[in-house]
Structure 1
């Protein structure tokens, strides 16, 4: 029976989380949404990760989906729970991080939990409650230009306080460096004072191990993927496991890249990829004018080039281009249009062009693609870059090697080196 049940607010975040669990010693399956059909694929694992598409939906919808995921995880035997969001803590003033966390706390009848978005391996750190991306404060990192969840404040205590009813506290670096006992005492003090959630400073990987041990009695933690490594390392040590829990992935067939993210990191990766592969740009305004023409043109490029190497299909664009489309079509409408188009193209590449190796960039894009492909679950393989593993699909007619990349993750050469890990 699994012991750890995880709820992720987007598909790439779920894969990121599952990759950290597997790399640190927990056998893990990721499901796409809440499963409705029984399967033995969920047996003999240590952790289950339910991937939702709830980051940018209305808060009440995110709460309902998360509670349904919690109920299913409980039915599978999970006894500890993990709500996973992005390491950039991106959310609007209305949520959904805070409202979902409070709903899960109420369902589990637990009065206190932590918020630990940091991922030091990817240079996401928190100090004195302020989130840094590399050397820049969150609101100066490019996240202030995010088309759906712009982050204009790096003070996470203030950000979270705007989303929830209970007081928000801080577990600072000095306390964490004193060790597990000091953190436990700080949690007891905050709980006694009526604090419901506490932002956790985290600047080094060892901080995650301290926090994992100190929060082992909490029914629920909320975090990015970093804390999962600490939890899994502690679990693997108890089970006396020495190796990562993932199998190698072998997959042949045509390859493609689908990129919808407009983050700085992904735009740099797209430029690198365009220098090596045939590419096709999907434009939101062109889709609005003649959707079928854009899809047909993309697939015509695939007809001519798919056997020559990975085909790159991208909608990634600079912030000013994205804003122009949003002003013309509406924020939600332009995003949904691009997601639908990229998902339709991905499905056609799999069905008509024999693509069996697929790399997808962007959380919303990944969600649209896996839903279109009918993927039920994923087995987690080795990391391409920290937080981005290759996976193999469960529940598709043909197995696929699939990599779902968060927009901000990966080195500039991510889209070229990914294929080296597949036999």
Structure 2
């Protein structure tokens, strides 16, 4: 079977979420982090290749995503989808534009669209401007993001600064007018040299229209939410069976740990809720002299407490403290310090018997999966923002929840760790 859908995701949390959405829709979907494994994936209609590229230099991101995309195309993927965050996380030197440029050339696409909207999460685009709830993204907490501060809400401008390809807008009145009007507008715009289209989307029905518009395109880009709208189209076109095989995740016992590297407000709230019933170690990166001693101290703290139940270890900090850490180590150095500490901790905790991990933060998730040398996962069905879970194969599986720092209910940490012990009751 040639895959109907091949996804390249710019971080592991987003890739996991995308796979979980497809699985919840009855689509058999493979999930790997190593493009070399794509050739060995069984006959499935969808494959997700998740890479840790969201905040790395554009040239490096292009090279890594290109390898993943080539692997998917070699398997005969009918359509490629480039998945990025609903908040269009990027900077003027960001890599969304350069990656899209490469994917356009690789697929031979004449044009593509950019649909970051997630109406159910109140991430909407109107007149090309990105909103979080009622706030422009530039007025939201995302303006203080330690790695990708979003200070310009106009996504046409944001993307145009990253690419020489002309960027246009599919405005909401066009979305409401339907497919025929959209297709004429695209034909007119491409005649004027526009090849990239930011898409307005306020309601889920807007995503229905955009999915119908783009389902046969060689290349589409966006947040995971629009992916949920494709399976019904594929079934109607006879591209996939009417129903798919849904294999559940194994029950996993052993120790449970939360590792939090995200500095998002929601992660800080989730840590506070977890601490009502279980201990939390908040590591002070300003006091870290070397990684080895920091990891050793955290392990000494965690081991006796794990006997009574799950614990959380966090490098998450307020924007004020993050600024101080960045002044000492630099923006990139501060991020790498936190990721290295948590990655090394994950490896040591696994060796100490921990088998259930909830990881908060896309970059943190990538670092931890790398340290654990996990290259493929069996993904469970989507249960809501930040609730997708997965497990390794084998006789001694490790259960993982890789969540975006911005997403998930306040009580996610404890409820997810418990659900890993009995996944059938969780879904």
Distance in 1 between residues matched to 2:125 and 2:344, nearest whole Å: 39
1:181 and 1:402 map into 2 onto residues whose CA distance is 44
| Displacement of 1:242 | 5.5
| Secondary structure class of the residue paired with 2:32 | strand
**How does 1:178-327 map onto structure 2 within 5 Å?**
178-237=177-236, 238=238, 239=240, 241=242, 245=246, 247-287=248-288, 289-327=289-327
How far apart, in 2, do the equivalents of 1:230 and 1:166 lie?
A: 28
Task: Give the secondary structure class of the aligned counterpart of 1:409.
Answer: coil
Contact 1:26 1:235 in 2 (8 A): no
Q: Deviations over 1:357-406 (max 9, x none)?
A: 11101011000000010111112103343253011124x78311111001
Distance in 2, matches of 1:200 and 1:117, equals 8
Counterpart residue number, 2:402 = 404
Map 1:99-248; keep pairs closer than 5 Å: 99-237=98-236, 238=238, 239=240, 241=242, 245=246, 247-248=248-249
CA distance 1:258–1:154, change in 2 (3 Å) = same
Greater shift after overlay, 295-304 or 156-165?
A: 295-304
| Offset, 1:419 | 3.0
Q: Distance between the aligned counterparts of 2:340 and 2:314, measured in 1?
A: 13
1:215–1:38 Cα change, 3 Å: closer
Which consecutive unaligned segments of at least 5 residues does structure 2 have? Answer: 423-427
Secondary structure, aligned partner of 1:86: coil
Aligned to 1:6: 7
Partners of 1:184 and 1:252 in 2: CA distance: 52
Q: Distance in 2 between matches of 1:266 and 1:83?
A: 26
Kindly provide the CA deviation profile for residues 67-109 of structure 1, in whole angstroms up to 9, marking residues without a partner as x. 1111111122212100011000011102210110011101112
Secondary structure, counterpart of 1:382 in structure 2: coil
Question: Hey, what's the Cα distance between the residues in 2 that align with 1:406 and 1:236?
Answer: 30
Distance change in 2, residues 1:249/1:130 (3 Å):
farther
| Residues 16-25 or 192-201, more deviating | 16-25
Is the CA contact 2:17–2:382 (under 8 Å) kept in the aligned structure 1? no
- 2:49 match: 50
How many pairs align?
418
Displacement of 1:292 in angstroms is 2.3
Match of 2:24 in 1: 23
Residues 54 and 61, structure 2, Cα contact 8 Å, conserved in 1: yes
The alignment status of 1:392 with 2:391, answered yes or no, reads yes
Contact 1:258 1:360 in 2 (8 A): yes
Q: 2:413 aligns with which of 407, 412, 415?
A: 415
Segments of 5+ residues of structure 1 without an aligned counterpart are: none
| Residue in 2 that maps onto 1:368 | 367
1:76, 1:240 → 2: CA distance? 19
2:387–2:416 contact (8 Å) kept in structure 1: no
Superposed, which structure 2 residues align to 1:56-75 within 5 Å?
A: 56-75=55-74
CA contact (8 A) 2:357 2:399 kept: yes
RMSD: 1.8
C-alpha distance in 2 between matches for 1:217 and 1:384: 28
Matched position secondary structure for 2:268: helix
Measured in 1, the distance between the counterparts of 2:395 and 2:329 equals: 36
In 2: Cα distance, 1:246 partner to 1:173 partner: 39
Shift of 1:243: 7.2
TM-score (norm 2): 0.93
CA distance in 2, matches of 1:134, 1:32: 32
Are 1:91 and 2:71 matched, yes or no?
A: no
- Cα deviation digits, residues 158-180 of structure 1 (max 9, x gap): 11111111211111111112222
